[in-house]
């Protein structure tokens, strides 16, 4: 039977989406319209911010770098206009992954934009880059290698069509290598050699695996590779592709200048000239290390990948669902029991979401995923398994999840039994503390009610909430016939006092 879309789904299908990429070198924003399953770009904004250059030896982002980034975001905010927060996705990459004070910047940025900043792991960045590239190229058969040289990291992906097979992010970028090997502004063969050798050492970790996997075509994306491709074409070194020979010829042209200040290469914008030598050294190294013959260029990149990821979620193609399912299977979760806990938790959420301000769909999803994975730690050990489960959720590579989403999910699972985890609670972002404490309480109660792992249907319980008070009511006599549940709930009353929640049972 063919499914017909509801008016709400049709409205969401014909909507504006915005993606913002807070890169180590530049901030990018793209706004697009989703209609009939297709994305049409309406506007693109890009500003060179160079966050990576503002990180000192103590891994702290300087006040100047923060101010520059926030000023850029204030201009982006004006263009976003009246777009609802659910239609905007903002991610931070390597510079914010590295910065020890990233939370300070993220909180200030959220006040400017009205949307939370999600700092994503390197492999998640790689997945989104591949998604952006694969949707902007012809859907051809065969494996494809995608490379993206950013300001602080370089991503490598091997995939076929829309599915990535290998994902990696290495610590080398055009801004960080400029600071390390070209900080004095002098252009010399020695500086190039040091940068190339450093990149070759980084590539050793993936060289054999990637060569063994193989690919039939190679594509580059984002600013550094785009600049090099433009220079290759403008200098007449090749008409279409970046080749190893063209890179060496371009390097010779760069070295014909004494320093970066006087460097002038056709096809390169002045603001990108300073980081060209470092990007070129990295690209030469990866051509040599991976045995690349030629590289095409794609306009698709991280921000386009974000848009397509958002569009997929609107069409119920959320990669996070697959990640949770794969995690459950990997750690042999009792799926029947997990489903019962999930159903109970969502039933509880439905009863209190209005009074506890948990109406946003994200809360429903996070509670559902926490219920599905709360026992994954049992594979490691029964003792303290909730801590093992939380560790796995926090530190696994989970496609589709940002670092903060994994932290929040891990908190829910860490807190589903025993004492309420106050220290973990204090580590949560300020605006997430109260709602996720409440979600944690709902998960705790659902686990208690399903402790016997019985297939017997639970009673029609009633849950009412009022700020810090929670009343749980059962049919008359049910608790008398279920003394273990009654005892667990009495203990839970004491546990929740430490969470500043007053639970009453009737």
The CATH number linked to 210 is: 3.30.420.150
Name the domain boundary from 310, 343, 373: 310
- Please give the tally of structural domains in the chain: 3
Name the domain boundary from 253, 285, 310: 310
Residue 157, in any domain of the structure: yes
Q: Are 489 and 409 within one domain?
A: yes
Residue 155, in any domain of the structure: yes
Residue 294, in any domain of the structure: yes
Q: How far apart are the first and last CA of the chain?
A: 46
- Distance CA(370)–CA(309), nearest Å, equals 22
Structure tokens at 266: 């056709």
Q: Are 148 and 240 within one domain?
A: yes
Name the domain boundary from 240, 263, 298: 298
Give, to the nearest 10 degrees, the angle between helix 319-330 and helix 361-373: 20
Q: Are 112 and 171 within one domain?
A: no
Tell me, what DSSP letter sits at residue 179? H
* Domain encompassing residue 156: 137-298
**389-405 exposure pattern, b = at least 16 Cβ within 10 A, e = fewer:** bbbbbbebebbbbbbbb
Q: How many CB atoms sit inside 10 A of residue 104's CB?
A: 14
At 419, is the secondary structure helix, strand, or coil? coil
pLDDT for 14-38, tens place per residue?
589 999 999 999 999 999 998 877 8
Q: Are 148 and 65 within one domain?
A: no
* Residue listed under structure tokens 């960045």: 125
Q: Are 51 and 189 within one domain?
A: no
Q: Are 363 and 224 within one domain?
A: no
Residue 127, in any domain of the structure: no
Q: Are 354 and 429 within one domain?
A: yes
- Provide the residue-wise pLDDT of the chain in tens; the chain has 506 residues: 333 343 334 444 458 999 999 999 999 999 999 887 788 999 999 999 989 889 998 999 999 999 999 999 999 999 998 899 889 999 999 999 999 999 999 999 999 999 999 999 999 999 999 999 998 887 777 999 999 999 999 999 999 988 999 999 999 999 999 999 999 999 999 999 999 999 999 999 999 999 999 999 999 999 899 999 999 999 999 988 999 999 999 999 999 999 999 999 999 988 899 999 999 999 999 999 999 999 999 999 999 999 999 988 877 678 899 899 999 999 999 999 999 999 999 999 999 999 999 998 899 999 999 999 999 999 999 999 999 999 999 999 898 998 889 999 999 999 999 999 999 999 998 889 999 999 999 999 999 999 989 888 899 999 999 999 999 999 999 999 999 999 999 999 999 999 999 999 99
Structure tokens at 168: 């990696």
Residue 420, in any domain of the structure: yes
Q: DSSP letter string over 275-289? A: THHHHHHHHHHHHHH
Kindly tell me the burial class for residue 474, based on how many C-beta atoms sit within 10 Å of its own C-beta (0-12, 13-18, 19 or more): buried
Residue 132, in any domain of the structure: no
Q: Are 337 and 485 within one domain?
A: yes
Which residue, 286, 149, 136, 130, is CA-closest to 210? 286
Q: pTM to 2 decimals?
A: 0.83
Residue 316: HSE in the Cβ half-sphere, 13 Å Cα cutoff: 2
Kindly report the backbone phi and psi dihedral angles of residue 40, in degrees, each rounded to the nearest multiple of 5, phi listed first. -115, 120
pLDDT for 203-248, tens place per residue?
999 999 999 999 999 999 998 999 999 999 999 999 889 999 999 9
Residue 75, in any domain of the structure: yes
pLDDT for 443-500, tens place per residue?
999 999 999 898 888 999 999 999 999 999 999 999 999 999 999 999 999 999 999 9
The CATH number linked to 335 is: 1.10.3210.10
Q: Are 161 and 293 within one domain?
A: yes
- Distance CA(92)–CA(70), nearest Å, equals 13
Q: Are 43 and 114 within one domain?
A: yes
Q: Are 397 and 428 within one domain?
A: yes
Structure tokens at 200: 């070759």
Q: Are 214 and 243 within one domain?
A: yes
Cα 262 to Cα 20, 132, 190, 254, 279, distances in angstroms: 33, 35, 19, 10, 18
The CATH number linked to 99 is: 3.30.420.40
Residue 128, in any domain of the structure: no
């Amino acid at each position: 039977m063919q499914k017909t879309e509801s008016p709400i789904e049709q409205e969401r299908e014909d909507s504006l989406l915005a993606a913002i990429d807070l890169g180590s070198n530049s901030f990018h924003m793209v706004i697009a319209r989703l209609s009939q399953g297709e994305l049409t770009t309406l506007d693109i904004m890009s500003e060179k911010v160079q966050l990576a250059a503002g990180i000192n030896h103590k891994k702290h982002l300087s006040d100047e770098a923060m101010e520059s980034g926030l000023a850029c975001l204030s201009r982006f905010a004006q263009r976003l206009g009246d777009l609802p927060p659910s239609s905007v996705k903002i991610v931070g990459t390597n510079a914010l992954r590295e910065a020890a004070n990233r939370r300070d910047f993220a909180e200030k940025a959220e006040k400017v934009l009205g949307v939370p900043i999600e700092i994503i792991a390197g492999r998640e960045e790689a997945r989104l880059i591949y998604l952006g590239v694969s949707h902007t190229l012809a859907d051809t058969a065969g494996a494809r290698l995608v490379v993206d040289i950013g300001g602080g990291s370089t991503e490598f992906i091997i995939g076929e069509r829309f599915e990535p097979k290998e994902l990696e992010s290495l610590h080398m970028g055009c801004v960080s290598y400029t600071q390390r090997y070209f900080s004095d502004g002098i252009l010399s063969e020695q500086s190039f050699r040091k940068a190339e050798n450093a990149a070759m050492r980084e590539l050793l970790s993936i060289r054999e695996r990637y060569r063994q996997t193989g690919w039939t075509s190679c594509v580059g994306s984002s600013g550094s590779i785009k600049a090099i491709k433009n220079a290759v074409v403008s200098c007449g070194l090749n008409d279409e592709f970046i080749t190893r020979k063209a890179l060496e010829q371009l390097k010779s042209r760069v070295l014909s200048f004494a320093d970066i200040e006087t460097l002038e290469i056709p096809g390169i914008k002045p603001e990108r000239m300073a980081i060209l030598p470092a990007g070129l050294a990295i690209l030469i190294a990866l051509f040599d290390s991976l045995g690349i013959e030629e590289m095409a260029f794609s306009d698709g990149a991280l921000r386009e990948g974000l848009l397509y990821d958002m569009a997929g979620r609107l069409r119920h193609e959320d990669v996070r669902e697959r990640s949770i399912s794969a995690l459950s299977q990997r750690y042999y979760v009792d799926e029947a029991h997990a489903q019962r806990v999930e159903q109970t938790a969502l039933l509880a959420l439905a009863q209190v979401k209005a009074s506890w301000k948990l109406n946003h769909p994200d809360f429903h999803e996070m509670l559902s995923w926490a219920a599905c994975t709360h026992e994954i730690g049992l594979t490691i050990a029964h003792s303290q398994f909730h801590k093992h489960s939380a560790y796995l959720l926090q530190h696994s590579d989970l496609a589709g999840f940002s670092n903060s989403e994994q932290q929040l999910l891990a908190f829910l699972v860490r807190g589903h039994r025993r004492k309420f985890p106050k220290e973990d609670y204090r580590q949560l972002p300020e605006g997430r503390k109260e709602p996720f404490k409440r979600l944690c309480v709902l998960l705790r109660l659902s686990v208690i009610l399903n402790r016997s792992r019985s297939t017997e249907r639970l009673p029609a319980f009633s849950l009412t909430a009022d700020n810090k008070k929670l009343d749980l009511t059962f049919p008359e006599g049910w608790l008398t016939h279920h003394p273990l549940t009654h005892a667990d709930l009495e203990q839970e009353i004491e546990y929740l006092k430490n969470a500043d929640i007053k639970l009453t049972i009737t």
